[in-house]
Chain A
Amino acid sequence: MMSLDFIWQTFLRLLAALPLTIEVWFLSIVFGGFVAAGVTWMRVSGILPLSLFARAFIFIFRGSPLLIQLFVIYYGLPSLPFVRHSFLWTFLREPFYCAVLSLALCTAGYTSEIFRGALAAVPRGQVEAARACGMSGFLLFRRIILPIAMRQGLPAYSTEIISMTKATALVSMVTLWDVLNVALKIRNDTLITYTPLLVAGAIYFVLNYILARFFVWLEFVVSPHLRRRLH
């Protein structure tokens, strides 16, 4: 049952599905990042309607399961006549775009809270010092706030990125042939229960392991000030 040849064939077929998994993962992180930046900006803008909107956005996308969000977008929206007759239909009829959209919105909910925490962690004194040197506006943001905030937010953000790899497995529910879906198909066709899911698990695990190592390295690179203190 667990012949080496079958494991190898399964591995090759799952590997062929890996690009789709990575594509969904990458696009939703990028779009999710932009949306999150916008939501964070609204949340800290001090303008009440904007901040209320941001709070509602975060509450909805963090408070409900990704699966039902995905289904609202993929099955729900296209059932509304006015969506079907608008330009949105060109995107929403493709499961790929629906998957990316819903993963991006969901991760944006979590990520914007990470961004907000990172911004809040920038020491006041740093901003005051920069102002005293005459920096303001965008220069202050670019040179002082952003680099410090990025460093502060990195550990939490890396956790979010890794959980996104796991979240991509849900796209198998909307007919996309990602790694998990191909594994389920092999299971269905061959009636071999363990091997396909174990091989798929190994692929996801290695992917996340590489990501985790990368972020450990990145954190090391961006915090030289902590390194020196160790000696």
Chain B
Amino acid sequence: MLGFGDRGWGFALIAGALMTLAVSLTGLLIGSVLGSLIAWAKLSGHKVGAAIGDAYASLFRGLPELLVIYFVYFGSSALLTATGNLIGIEGFLGVPSFAAGALGVGIISGAYQAEVYRGAYLAIASGELEAARAVGMHRLLMFRRIIVPQVLRFALPGLGNLWQVALKDSSLISVTGLTELMRTAQVGAGSTRQPFVFYLAGLGLYLTLTFVTDRFFEAAEKRATRGLKRIHG
């Protein structure tokens, strides 16, 4: 039943796992854009910018993930339908569930990533920034050569954690009908009447995903910090 033959669900589950990876990765990337914008707003020193950043972060860290995903899914479709009606397209317009799901996961992840990036930026030794200015780098060059590489290095452990969170949150996207791992397990459980086998297989695949990608982040961290002296270990 879980095999890879004609009547097996093996390929479907693997495809679901790949979809989970794709939608989580897209969510993480959307979150990194939102997160860096919020971190920038908070660090800018602008009162209004900082207030907006704070409000965003505390709002999306205080709401249930499932509610956010429902809201983004229903909300964006309603918005699209309303806009469609305005320009003369009749009837209901649904936002693709992949886009809505990735956006939902990304919005949540962004609220947490903002803190990771802010902490990473503050961890850059101020002497480095001064030195960059002293050799005449303008802002964009300094951002590209000095700030980004170091922020990425310092943010990597935090991002690794948030990747795991995004991976697990992505299971909630199943409510939008996207056939990722959770949804595939549900469909398999329903059509074969073997819920225990299918949910357990799904759980096993999630564990595999989190375990394997965790090793990947560990390796990346090791590589990114190879030039740093460690206090311990």
Contacts and interface: CB of A to CB of B under 8 A. Distances in A.
Interface of A: 59-60, 63-69, 71-72, 75-77, 79-80, 162, 165-170, 172-173, 180, 183-184, 187, 193-194, 197-198, 200-201, 204-205, 208-209, 212
B66 A65 contact: no
A166 to B, nearest CB: 4
A163 B203 CA distance: 21
B4 interface: no
Given A59-B207, A63-B206, A76-B196, A68 B66 contact: no
Contacts of A194: 71, 75, 78
The prevalent SS among residues of A at the interface is helix
Interface of B: 59, 62-67, 70-71, 74-75, 78, 164, 167-172, 174-175, 182, 185-186, 189, 193-196, 199-200, 202-203, 206-207, 210-211
Contacts, number: 109
The prevalent SS among residues of B at the interface is helix
A198 B63 CA distance: 10
A166 B63 contact: yes
B163 to A, nearest CB: 13
25 contacts: A63-B207, A64-B207, A65-B168, A67-B174, A68-B171, A68-B199, A72-B196, A72-B203, A76-B196, A79-B194, A79-B195, A165-B64, A166-B63, A167-B64, A170-B172, A172-B66, A173-B175, A180-B70, A193-B74, A193-B75, A194-B78, A197-B67, A197-B74, A198-B71, A204-B67
